[in-house]
Amino acid sequence: MENKEESKIWLDENNIVNVKISKNVEGGKIMDLFSRGEKISRDLSGNTSILIDLTSGFFVTSSKLRKEIAERFKGLVKDPGFKKVAVFGGIAAITVASFIISLSKMENVKTFTKKEDALKWLKKP
């Protein structure tokens, strides 16, 4: 049976916004996740961080969608409600994420291959 896990976003007990992106997520769903992330940011009273899980093998083939994602991502991480963003997943997904990060010239964002390393960095003062 094929795993049909959905993309989702939630705030955990450590005040970290978690984003799980499924392999076959559509562009509209990604934009919905950004909108929900922006709402969480507005609702928070202090700084928080974002943990993005790309372990599903998520990959964007459309250059137009990649550019849209980069622009929304850039706006999200520049939001004063967020202090750090950690992205983790497989090599292919991290390569794409690194490309998007470099285009947006964001300094408070890092990529990792392991969730534990990403969380450790996010929790560092």
Read off the CATH number of the domain in which 107 is found.
3.30.750.24
pLDDT at 1: 41
- For 17, the domain range is 8-123
- Count the alpha carbons within 13 Å of 111 in the hemisphere toward its beta carbon: 18
How many residues does this entry show for the chain?
125
Query: In terms of pLDDT, which residue wins out, 112 or 58?
Result: 112
- DSSP character string of 33-84: HHHHHHHHHHH-SS-EEEEEEETT------HHHHHHHHHHHHHHHTSTTEEE
Q: Is 1 part of any domain?
A: no
Q: Is 64 part of any domain?
A: yes
Q: Is 32 part of any domain?
A: yes
pLDDT at 69: 78
Q: What percent of the chain has pLDDT over 90?
A: 12
Note the pLDDT tens digit of each residue in 41-66: 777 766 788 898 988 876 667 778 77
Q: Classify 11 in phi/psi space as left (phi over 0), alpha (psi -120 to 50) or beta.
A: beta
